[in-house]
A and B are shown apart, each in its own frame.
Chain A
Amino acid sequence: MATPISPDSEQPIVIHPEIQGEVDIDVPVSELPLPPDIWPSTRGPIVTMARPAVSPAPPEFTATESKRAFGLDALRGLFLVTMTLGFTIGSDIFPAWMYHRQMPPPDYGVVDLPGISWRDLAYGAFLFTMAAALPLTLSRRISKGETELGIVFGAIRRYFMLLVFALLIGHSNTYLTGYTQTTRVVSIVGFVVMALIFTRRRSDWNVERHQMLNRAGWLLAIAFLAITPLLYGKSFSFNRFDDVITGLAFASLAGSVIWYLTRDNLTARVGVLGVAVALYLGARSEGWVQDWWWSSPVSWAFQPSWFTLLTIVIPGTIAGDMVLRWMRSTDSGAVPLAWTRGRVATVAALATALTPIAVVGLYNRAVQLTTQVSVALILAGVILTWRPSSSTERMLRSLFVWGGMWLVLGLFLEPFENGIRKVPDTLSYFFTMAGLTTMLLVALTALVEVLDHRKWVAPLIDVGTNPLLMYVLFTILINSALELIPPMRDVLQASPGEAILRSVIQVTLVVLVVRYFTRKQIYWRT
């Protein structure tokens, strides 16, 4: 069949082969066999496997970190309740000390008044407790073998989630969207959307269903942000956000990174604090720092002026380190305390007393007296906490000393910038808040861990372990739900007494709801 092969490449070559293939095919092969099923009932590459029944949730800590910082949870809960109480005061017939110091009635506009009121404590304290929890969270992740990149990306992820949270609250809060029936319904829808996104799966919940709801929540969130503003005559805006949460987001990100990089070097962390203070001071005078400090094209996501928050975030992480060291210690609970219960109770009382003294004194501008009394109490506390022998005592002393130092720093800085202010915030405010919050942490830790009165603060602990839910409930849900029914808007608003009663009822309601969910192990998490 073949023509001769020519060595000349310019000549065509054609070589014909023999017929190939199975020439004697008898069976029609148009229907060639497909892969058979070995057992017909089990066809298909994917089979739903029976899932085991409820399993215990994985432990929160490894063996060396088996304790939980209930004092910190209680502290967070305390300030959340304080915030709720302040937020639910709707009447304008109270005395000025019931409001933010720089936003007094009747206009609630920002005025140039030095001092702080009890309502000014919550913001700084909230940041502090968040920062104090960072060492605990991050160290747990490190112990699980998370990489450096993982830690950083985890912090960025949380930052992003908090920004989304802030935008959702901003577009749900009637304070920002207007007090109409439409916006109240939108608030409630916003709450549902947030619930879908931020509710952590309980260990016995169906994984698929939870994931489905979570993803549906994200899709709904996009639709919610895009469409619902049109219902009340606006459009989506990045400038409609909850500034407390955005500040918290930045503090979380910056705090995580700073703590991670300086976890073994306290001096470096204090150095970073010095840099933050320097930037703050630089921004007080004209120049490039000031120009930069107040400029941001994405103010909802980042503002250079937020670096001020480091003055409370870094003290928070330092307190968190002390709590972490205590949690990792092995002697707690096994070694009896050298201090008597009375001594610990006195320390707790001193630490607690500092807050009302500072607030009342600074509100009434008795700055010198407040400083003198505070320093005296701090010195007394330092003496009382002398020579700690167990890890719990060491933690209480360290916290007390550091708290005293921050408070003294804040009080000494008080005359600078013409007095302490929350709006606009001053260095004195942040350091004073760091001091007072640390002192309250001392008091609550002593109460829970040494004096063994956890039950006294159990509601606060429950609230403190579920902060996001608490925050959303009091910022957007309760008021919107109540005011949706017109008669409810004016109930218990006639006198200060009635307004307080109404506020207390609302706070109680919120706390009960949060407690219920916490007890049911249903948490909102980023």
Chain B
Amino acid sequence: MPAVPEWRERVIRAVAIVAIVYAMYWIYWRWTNTINTEPGAYVASVVLILAETWAFINMCLFVMLTWRLTERVPPPAPRGRTVDVFITCFDEPLEVLRRTAMGARAIRYPHRTYVLDDGKRDEVRGMCEEFGIGYIRRVGSRNAKAGNINYALSVTSGEFILQLDADHVPLPTILDRMLGYFDDPQMAVVQAPQDFYNVDSFTHVVNDEGRRLWEENRIFFSLIQPGRDYWNASFFCGSCGILRRSALEAIGGFASQTIIEDMETTIQFHAHGFKSAYHRETLAYGLAPGSAGAYHVQRMRWGQGAMQVLRKLKPLTMRGLTLPQRVAYFAGAICYFEGWQKAIFYLMPLFFFFTGILPVAGSQEAFLIRLFPYIILCTLAFELLSRGTGYLLLSERFTMVRIWTYMLAALAIFTRKPLKFNVTPKGHSSVPRSAYMPQVVLLVLSIVAPIWATIAYSQGWISYRTQGWGSMAFWMNGLWALWNCYFALYVVRHSLRMKQQRDDHRFAEQLSVEVQLADEISAPAIPAMTMDLNPAGLGFRSTTRVEPGTRVYIELPLRPARIRTIGHVRHVKEESSRLGTVFMHGVEFLDVPIETRDVIELYCTQHSMTVWRLKYRQSIDILTRAGEVMRNLRGQRRRLAGLPAKVYLTGAGDTERVEVDAKLILEEMSESGARFVGTAPIEPGTTITFDVPGARVSGTGVVRHVQALQTSVSVLFSMGVELNTAPVASRGWLPRFGKRNNGHLISSESQNGDAHIS
């Protein structure tokens, strides 16, 4: 996330203060003027205000935690220190673990890698021997992950421990970037963000055309953690963090009183006077929950662990912590009560429709004239404080997703029984009905309630009259129910859709390749572009259809080596777009040697993922967004093309054309612009012409900008080209549905400089 200018920070804090002051007034006014004391309404009225008050407390804590975000510049990594890299595993798929092990082995800073195998699988041990990395297996599995690490600590000796979960593939630079913080002898732990490579996961929202990426955890890793860091209260998150062995020894090893040993361990560090730091740079990619089921398992563990922290450690009164640290840990734990608070909000319109009782007293004018500024100010403050990570609607969707899980998790505050450490499922997973059934019930009730109310009103069963309120009460609650319906519907659809079908993730990768049919070796190769890749197979797009079952040869221009693969086409999908008909093929590799698998694996994790991320923006704050909307930089909708293109440099007289000697891909295109990605750059200002073989997409334009996309493996160049075509009519704000143009003429092809598709 780019640093926010100081003047903006001042604006953000000013708005936050105004919002808090107004919210304080609102809550005061609600308690003193709007409690409905009529029989039947009193309890509901107080419950609603309690929920609002809880929201206000959370708002204050949120403001405190996000008041100032720490931006750290990493000191140079010290030389000659000893580091052990621990990869903890239990039952994760071997492909996932293998990827992580390879990544750990490739870390640049001298280190020793160990796989801490609590699953006690011989195939894991065999893999470690193959890679030449360490392997540790203990007896039993007491204290789950904490116990596993503590045992490993007892048989190793590195000064520092880089802890990785089984799915977190580190980048080679991870130690170089983070180890320097330990120059401070009081520094006990440095945490980096947990980022994820399966961007098709349950928690990701990807906008390909807008090049935007949002992940539910971003608000924590891009906002809360840097905010906590300002108060020296950032905490270790169980993976992608480096710990100092001597500090761990000082607190008696990894803490194991709760099932969130990472937070608990950091609390102990802070209570013993140690420091923590948060390094805001993605240095490892893991697997986000692939389905609703995995997501709920993970959140249930976190929620129950937070309750254990509250009950066992009592952070507000814990000795050794500073006041901000106490508040920060308290805030981190009580956020799981959000489930109950939101449930009250979701159920209140239903209460009104089914009983006719409005849990608010006073006049509608007085209420609404105070409510609207409250909503506007709170929304604005949230958007500004979240610095582009906490889009309100997206956040609200996931609030609805986890409401039931959080409600159940919060009940753990009352239990003294030890809780089970449930590992978040990786790979193929299903969706239990409990993941979306509460939302189905809410959805149905929110639809039925207004209908019932209409009948009840027309039949005279319920009057729906409240003193001081006209029909506005009905409509306000109707809108509220509609709002809830929208989110509930989203949860149900999202949960059902997001089943992870593959055992292993495919990485998005765009390579310009040629597909040779194995049975027609003399036929010309088909130009194509890969869509995704992993050691098991790939997907490619082409304008020529290849039938399922066909054996194909594909040479992959990977780095450091080119790789020849053979596979067979498993499925074909046709896609009609403005750019014509494109066929998307899925290929399964046949007989891939282990060396080839490893090259593909490393290329995917250390290059494909990083390049993909370079193209997408993850945090766009509201002011930047507003600026972009006003400037509307692009002006028109760019449509994804994803096809290999032939590009020619055009001379001044447009008479001579020289083909560019590089593999180039037409990524996206509108009537006025196009974007290419390739292995060689073209200088800005150069006039080019291009065409896509098979698709008859062509155009002429001028290169306007070039950006290098560099990783530790390779470098690519992204080039923006301006086409001299007329702008299309403005898109309205509301979506226009179902426009379809099956490769028809988009614009006149008679003029030079036009893009045309015929």
- A residues adjacent to B (C-beta < 8 A): 5, 9-23, 25, 28-39, 41-52, 55-58, 144-151, 153-154, 157, 160-161, 201, 203, 207-212, 214-215, 218, 226-227, 230, 233, 235-239, 295, 297
Contact = CB atoms under 8 A, between A and B. Distances in A.
B495 to A, nearest CB: 25
Contacts of B74: 30
Contacts of A9: 120, 137
Given A28-B76, A226-B372, A161 B737 contact: no
A383 B522 CA distance: 75
A209 B728 CA distance: 15
A254 to B, nearest CB: 19
B632 A215 contact: no
Contacts of A218: 733
Interface in B714-739: 715, 717-718, 720, 722, 724-739
Given A17-B114, A21-B110, 14 more contacts: A15-B129, A17-B133, A29-B176, A38-B706, A45-B718, A52-B727, A208-B630, A211-B632, A218-B733, A226-B368, A226-B372, A230-B365, A295-B458, A297-B450
B397 interface: no
Contacts of A28: 76-77
Nearest to B740: A145
A17 B717 contact: no
11 contacts: A20-B105, A25-B109, A36-B708, A39-B684, A42-B707, A51-B672, A145-B742, A207-B632, A207-B636, A208-B632, A209-B630
B112 A16 contact: yes
B108 interface: yes
A454 B372 CA distance: 52
Contact of B708 (A37, A41, A236, A237): A37
B725 A15 contact: no
A42 B683 CA distance: 10
Contact of B734 (A17, A47, A157): A157
Nearest to B179: A30
B629 interface: yes
Contacts of B737: 147, 149-150, 153-154, 157
B107 A21 contact: yes
Given A25-B108, A203-B729, A212-B629, A17 B77 contact: no
Contacts of A34: 710
The 9 lowest CB-CB distance pairs between A and B, nearest first, are A150-B738, A55-B726, A208-B632, A30-B76, A153-B737, A147-B738, A297-B454, A42-B705, A13-B137
B499 interface: no
Contacts of B155: 12, 14
B562 interface: no
Contact of A21 (B109, B450, B731, B744): B109
Contact of A45 (B77, B450, B707): B707
Contacts of A49: 635, 672-673, 704, 720, 722
B422 interface: no
Contacts of A151: 738
A30 B177 contact: yes
B320 interface: no
B139 A11 contact: yes
Contacts of B23: none
A521 to B, nearest CB: 13
A104 B365 CA distance: 37
B614 interface: yes
B726 A56 contact: yes
Contacts of B129: 15
Contacts of B324: none
Contact of B635 (A20, A148, A207, A235): A207
Contacts of B706: 38-39, 42
Contact of A235 (B79, B472, B720): B472
Contact of A48 (B110, B175, B631, B734): B631
Interface of B: 74-77, 79, 105, 107-114, 120, 125, 128-129, 132-139, 151, 155-156, 173, 175-177, 180, 211, 364-365, 368-369, 372, 450, 454, 457-458, 470-472, 475, 614-615, 629-636, 672-673, 681, 683-684, 704-710, 715, 717-718, 720, 722, 724-742, 744
Contacts, number: 232
A33 B708 CA distance: 12
A161 B135 CA distance: 66
A208 B631 contact: yes
A209 B629 CA distance: 9
User: Among B137, B615, B735, which residue has the most Cβ atoms of chain A within 10 A?
Assistant: B137
A149 B454 CA distance: 30
A21 B707 contact: no
Contacts of B475: 238
Contacts of A149: 737-738
Contacts of A35: 614, 707-710, 715
B150 to A, nearest CB: 13
A47 B705 contact: yes
Contacts of A237: 470-472
B704 A235 contact: no
Contact of B727 (A13, A18, A51, A238): A51
A32 B108 CA distance: 12
A207 B129 CA distance: 62
Contacts of B471: 237-239
A480 B614 CA distance: 55
Contacts of A214: 732-733
B636 to A, nearest CB: 7
B444 to A, nearest CB: 19
A55 to B, nearest CB: 3
Contact of A20 (B110, B472, B631, B672): B110
Contacts of B120: 9
Contact of B740 (A150, A154, A235): A150
A215 B733 contact: yes
Contacts of B173: 29, 32
A358 to B, nearest CB: 40
A39 B75 contact: no
A36 B741 contact: no
A29 B77 contact: yes
Nearest to B734: A157
Given A12-B139, A238-B475, A145 B79 contact: no
A233 B368 CA distance: 12
A21 B113 CA distance: 10
B526 to A, nearest CB: 28
Contacts of B741: 144-145
A145 B111 CA distance: 61
Contacts of B138: 12
A17 B134 contact: yes
Nearest to A57: B729
Contacts of A50: 722
Contact of A22 (B108, B720, B728): B108
B112 to A, nearest CB: 5
A58 B128 CA distance: 65
A46 B634 contact: yes
Contacts of B133: 17, 20
